[in-house]
Amino acid sequence: MKTFVKIFAFVLVLGSSFAAFANEPETPSFAVGMYQDPKNLILNLMVENSGAREVTVKVYDEKGTLVFDERLGKKQAKYRMKFKMNEMANGTYKFVISDNNQIVTKTVTLQSEESRKIQLSK
Please check whether residue 122 lies inside any domain of the structure: yes
Q: Judge whether 86 and 104 are in contact, CB under 8 Å.
A: no
The 10s digit of each residue's pLDDT in 107-119 is 999 886 655 566 6
Please check whether residue 93 lies inside any domain of the structure: yes
CATH number of the domain to which 57 belongs: 2.60.40
Please check whether residue 69 lies inside any domain of the structure: yes
Radius of gyration over alpha carbons of the chain, in Å? 20
pLDDT bin (cut points 50, 70, 90) of residue 73 is confident
Please check whether residue 37 lies inside any domain of the structure: no
What φ, ψ does residue 86 adopt, rounded to 5°? -70, -15
How far apart (Å, rounded) are the C-alpha atoms in residues 33 and 79? 10
H/E segment holding residue 16: none
In the chain, where does DSSP find H-type helix?
2-15
Tell me the CB-side half-sphere exposure of residue 18, using CA atoms within 13 A. Answer: 0
Q: Judge whether 97 and 104 are in contact, CB under 8 Å.
A: yes
What residue numbers bound the domain in which 62 lies? Answer: 49-122
Please check whether residue 27 lies inside any domain of the structure: no
pLDDT bin (cut points 50, 70, 90) of residue 12 is very low
The pTM assigned to this predicted structure is: 0.69
